[in-house]
């Protein structure tokens, strides 16, 4: 069987290919840390202990990153060393250490970087830098990088500066956190006294950061002067900017010419149907490539499509991946270069490189045959999908079933829940994880269900939770249990983690008697405690929706936990869902004299990484076995 040790050791981990496109020619870093291109080979990363690299657009320089120090989910600081490919050696630079972000220009070899919240530009790697901004200040003013809430909830990146296509202009955002309240948490470390960490963190109904967008002209060194959502250069002197209002129910897309005039054009829809476009992969002069879940009317599948366009019309959509290993690869995406190549993955391990134009196989980068052979010697679970009708909706579920599953037998059941707005748990992506161990070794059915509020099944389902988190998504998880009861031991049912930890806690606190056990990892407990951008997107402000804020707290349901087994887990340095959330649940349960289990992970953030990751899954496995005993 697939054991817990197999999960921790990565016995069945898929291999990917550490490659990125630089031009029409492939260049890569190999697992042996050697930089390779078609003309020259050097072992250089060991000299600077590099963990990543970036190649200039003209392919004359390679910038190596070292001394990685993580900050939040996407942000980090690093040191940068630039290697001259023509001279075959590193060059001397005046770039300081602890850089927050660095980017090559799209043409040539200009550089823009952020240090101590200020932006700098270099015309060449060897030239002196120009300081673009000078007002950057820790936890107050950030130039070219997002603050905590924009990084986490809006941009999902560590940068807020964008080169124009010709490399002349740099657009950048300036974040002012001076009016934002700080969250404080303790960092215990190894010192005699613990430290206090302060992070500007706007919570629901409190002041948000203010954001301005600027454009810096690298030729003249001149700067031309809500929610800033996305920034895209449409041409060398035209930039498209998307803004949202605070409640995020209204979006303005403005395209600005460099001289300050606005330009708009009536949009034309290229697709329509009862399915969703999940991402746009590539836009060329004559085509749009995108991913959708249209094929087989299955929201959990993903395929790559192409629409040919011209000034007057567009073609019908063409599916490029629907027939590529259709029985195995049902979750696909693509990477593009100028010759439009594709990399795709699926329910089984499929990573191949093909020409989109001719579909001739260029080269198999990684077929994961070793993994496939390994899995043939392990009793692996099977995965089934189906729908459950709740009201007017046919909602999708997924069941991971033990090897040699027998419908006449009864099995323990774990409901693996997330249930956050626009989330999806029932899909066709290949995964091997803790659920695999539970099904393979412990003979547990692991089920997931995408109820009201989930994504990729239409706006009506997704918008059902608007202004009412903690309602339908909780009710639907309770209802979903009944579809699985035919295969399960009576009452031996429980749920888990993150937003799922919130739903777990709300389900157990509902007092329905349906669930016997539950595990909540880093749960939200009260929406006023969470960040403004995420919370107000779905709940508006507390002043506008106080009744639903009040009725969606875990603490108000504390007395109903007396009849269930509950495990509460949290990291003390969680910058996202603060330890405050679990502490308030604990306080309420103690006030109601509820006996429960708790596990705190000192100085760990929301991801519970490192040794804590193995510990938490081992601990949850023990809790699960006791619950099923």
d(CA 458, CA 467): 18
Question: How far is residue 442's CA from residue 324's CA, in Å, rounded to a whole number?
Answer: 35
Please identify which of the residues 498, 525, 532, 612 carries the catalytic annotation. Answer: 498
Residue closest to 620 by CA, chosen among 489, 521, 492, 498:
521
Is residue 286 part of the annotated active site? The answer reads: no
| Known catalytic membership, residue 423 | no
Q: Are 504 and 496 in contact (CB under 8 A)?
A: yes
CA separation for the pair 104, 539 (Å, rounded): 40
Among candidate residues 234, 250, 255, 230, the one with its CA nearest the CA of residue 150: 230
The yes-or-no answer on residue 81 being catalytic is no
Q: Which helix (H) or strand (E) holds 355?
A: strand 351-355
R_g of the chain, CA atoms, integer Å: 26
> Residue 293 CA to chain centroid, in angstroms?
19
597-601 own/partner pairs: CB under 8 Å, 24+ apart: 597/565, 597/566, 597/567, 597/568, 597/623, 598/567, 598/568, 598/569, 599/567, 599/568, 599/569, 600/569, 600/570, 600/571, 600/572, 601/569, 601/570, 601/571, 601/572
Q: How far is it, in rounded angstroms, from Cα 179 to Cα 198?
A: 14
- Which tokens sit at 254? 């403005």
How far apart are the two ends of the chain, measured CA to CA in Å?
21
DSSP code of residue 478:
H
Distance from C-alpha of 535 to C-alpha of 206, rounded to nearest angstrom: 11
Residue 41 bridge partners (DSSP): 36
Catalytic residue among 574, 578, 586, 605: 574
Enzyme catalytic residues: 498, 574, 606
């Amino acid at each position: 069987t697939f054991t817990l040790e197999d999960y921790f050791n990565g016995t069945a981990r898929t291999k990917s290919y550490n490659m990125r496109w630089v031009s029409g020619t492939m260049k890569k870093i190999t697992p042996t840390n050697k930089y390779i291109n078609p003309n020259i080979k050097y072992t250089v990363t060991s000299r600077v202990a590099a963990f990543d690299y970036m190649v200039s657009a003209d392919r004359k320089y390679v910038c190596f990153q070292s001394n990685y120090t993580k900050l939040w989910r996407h942000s980090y600081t690093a040191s940068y060393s630039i290697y001259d490919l023509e001279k075959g050696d590193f060059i001397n630079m005046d770039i300081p250490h602890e850089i927050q972000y660095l980017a090559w220009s799209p043409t040539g070899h200009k550089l823009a970087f952020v240090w101590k919240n200020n932006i700098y530009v270099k015309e060449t790697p060897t030239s002196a830098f120009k300081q673009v901004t000078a007002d950057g200040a820790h936890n107050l003013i950030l130039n070219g990088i997002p603050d905590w809430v924009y990084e986490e909830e809006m941009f999902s990146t560590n940068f807020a500066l964008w080169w124009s296509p010709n490399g002349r202009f740099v657009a950048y955002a300036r974040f002012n956190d001076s009016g934002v309240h700080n969250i404080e948490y303790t960092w215990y470390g190894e010192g005699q006294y613990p430290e206090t960490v302060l992070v500007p963190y706007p919570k629901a109904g409190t002041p948000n950061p203010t954001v301005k967008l600027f454009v810096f002209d690298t030729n003249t060194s001149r700067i031309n002067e809500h929610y800033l959502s996305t920034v895209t250069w449409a041409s060398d002197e035209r930039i498209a900017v998307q803004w949202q209002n605070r409640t995020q129910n209204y979006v303005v897309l403005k395209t600005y010419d460099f001289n300050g005039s606005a330009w708009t054009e009536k949009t034309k829809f290229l697709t329509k149907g009862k399915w969703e476009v999940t991402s746009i992969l590539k836009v060329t002069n004559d085509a749009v490539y995108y991913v959708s879940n249209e094929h087989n009317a299955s929201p959990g599948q993903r395929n790559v499509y192409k629409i040919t366009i011209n000034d007057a019309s567009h073609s019908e959509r063409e599916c490029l991946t629907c027939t590529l290993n259709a029985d195995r690869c049902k979750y696909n995406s693509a990477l593009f270069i100028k010759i439009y190549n594709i990399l795709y993955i699926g329910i089984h391990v499929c990573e191949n490189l093909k020409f989109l134009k001719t579909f001739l196989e260029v080269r198999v980068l990684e077929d994961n045959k070793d993994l496939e052979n390994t899995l043939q010697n392990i009793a692996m679970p099977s995965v089934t999908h189906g729908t459950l009708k709740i009201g007017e909706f046919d909602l999708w579920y997924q069941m991971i079933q033990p090897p040699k599953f027998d419908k006449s037998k009864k099995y323990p059941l774990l409901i693996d829940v997330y249930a956050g707005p626009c989330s999806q748990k029932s899909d066709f992506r290949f995964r091997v994880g803790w659920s695999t161990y539970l099904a393979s070794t412990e003979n547990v059915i692991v089920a997931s269900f995408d109820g009201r509020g989930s994504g990729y099944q239409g706006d009506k389902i997704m918008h059902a939770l608007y202004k009412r988190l903690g309602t339908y998504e909780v009710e639907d998880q309770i209802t979903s249990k009944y579809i699985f009861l035919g295969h399960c031991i009576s009452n031996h049912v429980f749920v888990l983690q993150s937003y799922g930890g919130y739903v777990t806690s709300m389900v157990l606190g509902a007092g329905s008697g349906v669930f016997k056990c539950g595990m909540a990892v880093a749960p939200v407990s009260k929406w006023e405690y969470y960040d403004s951008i995420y919370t107000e997107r779905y709940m508006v402000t507390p002043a506008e929706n106080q009744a639903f804020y009040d009725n969606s707290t875990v603490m108000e349901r504390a007395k109903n936990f007396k009849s269930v087994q509950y495990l509460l887990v949290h990291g003390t340095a969680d910058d996202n869902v603060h330890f405050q959330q679990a502490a308030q649940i604990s306080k309420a349960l103690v006030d109601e004299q509820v006996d429960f289990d708790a596990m705190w992970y000192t100085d760990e953030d929301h991801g519970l990484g490192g040794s804590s990751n193995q510990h938490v899954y081992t601990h949850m496995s023990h809790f699960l076995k006791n619950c099923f005993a």
